[in-house]
Amino acid sequence: MSAPSTPVDTVDPGGLAAALSALREGAPLVQCLTNVVVAQWTANTLLAAGASPVMVDNPQEARACAGVAGGVLVNVGTPQEETAAAMTEAVAGAAEAGTPWVLDPVGAGALAWRTRIAHDLLGRHAPAVIRGNASEILALDGGTGGKGVEGVDAAEDAMPAATALAHELGCVVAVSGRVDHVTDGERVVRVSNGSPLLTKVTGAGCALGALMAGFTAVVADRLVAATAATAVFTLAAEAAQRAARGPGSFAVALLDELDRLQPAAVADGVRLS
């Protein structure tokens, strides 16, 4: 897969719209090593947005796949010995090929084994993006404040940890919350779109992490990539909420709206600060 080719160097509404156009045009192959709870939902989210999911999470094939993918998602939501080994292989393959990879440290801090897995992966090869809630980001930076897979800290509380991680690893850190925060250690972008129904659908954050892997495949500036994924996902969520009666119909409508979302609507609707 070719290197990211769309230069978008400022995080402004037009750049995020261009990123969505690039995703649709490139339809990048996104390898997902994710948890069994959200695998279908994640693949359908990527398809709806315009990317091409490939859910290869076994140790035999994960490394080669990461070598040809446009982006790789590693989500530690339901690790087992074999899928954890596959994550190591995928990160090795990403390192060899220069494929950007995204870490979603689901439950880090609250659960010990996956916290070690996440730290081990980070020590092998720096990711393009880390996406988590405040608790998870605090835990990755050495904090012990993890309070479960559903974060209870506000995103802004994790920004010192996010900035430190971004500097240490040379990556982007995205902290999900009522207002999403994205930083590369220097710049900080806040996206205040979204819907409270996102907290009633399992794997909303997981799907967002997968979209970030998709955008890193087509956008060179990883701050823009992570922000574009956030804007696209949360704008689709706003539209979905208008069509929904509850969390079931919301999740369905979110896929419809991801498919329907136009780049111009991203530029018009995103609320950055």
Kindly list the residues in this chain that would bind its own copies in the complex (CB under 8 A): 29, 35-41, 43-44, 47-48, 52-58, 60-61, 64-65, 77-83, 107, 111-114, 148-150, 199-203, 243-249, 251-260
Contacts of 10 (CB under 8 A, 6+ apart): 224
Strand partners, 181: 175, 190
- Residue 47 or 220: the one with the smaller Cβ distance to its own copies is 47
Pick the closest to residue 2 from 32, 21, 27 (CA basis): 27
CB of 38 to its own copies, least distance (A): 6
- CB of 36 or CB of 264, closer to its own copies: 36
- Residue 5 or 58 having the CB closest to its own copies: 58
Give the burial string for 149-177 (b: 16+ CB within 10 Å, else e).
bebebebbbbbebbbbbbeebebbbbbbb
Least CB distance to its own copies at residue 58 (A):
5
* Residue 176 identity (one-letter amino acid): S
Q: How far is the CB of 55 from its own copies (least distance, A)?
A: 5
- How far from the centroid of its chain's Cα atoms is residue 144's Cα? 23
- The nearest distance, CB 117 to its own copies, in angstroms, is 10
In angstroms, give the least distance from the CB of 103 to its own copies.
18
Q: Determine if residue 176 is labeled as part of a ligand binding site.
A: yes
131 labeled binding residue: yes
Q: Which residues, 6 or more positions from 243, have their beta carbon under 8 angstroms from its beta carbon? A: 249, 250, 253, 256, 257
Give 171's DSSP letter. S
- For its own copies, the closer of residues 7 and 248 by Cβ is 248
Dihedral through CA 234, CA 238, CA 240, CA 241, nearest 10? 130
Q: Which is nearer to its own copies, 25 or 259 (CB)?
A: 259
Q: State the binding site for substrate.
A: 55, 203
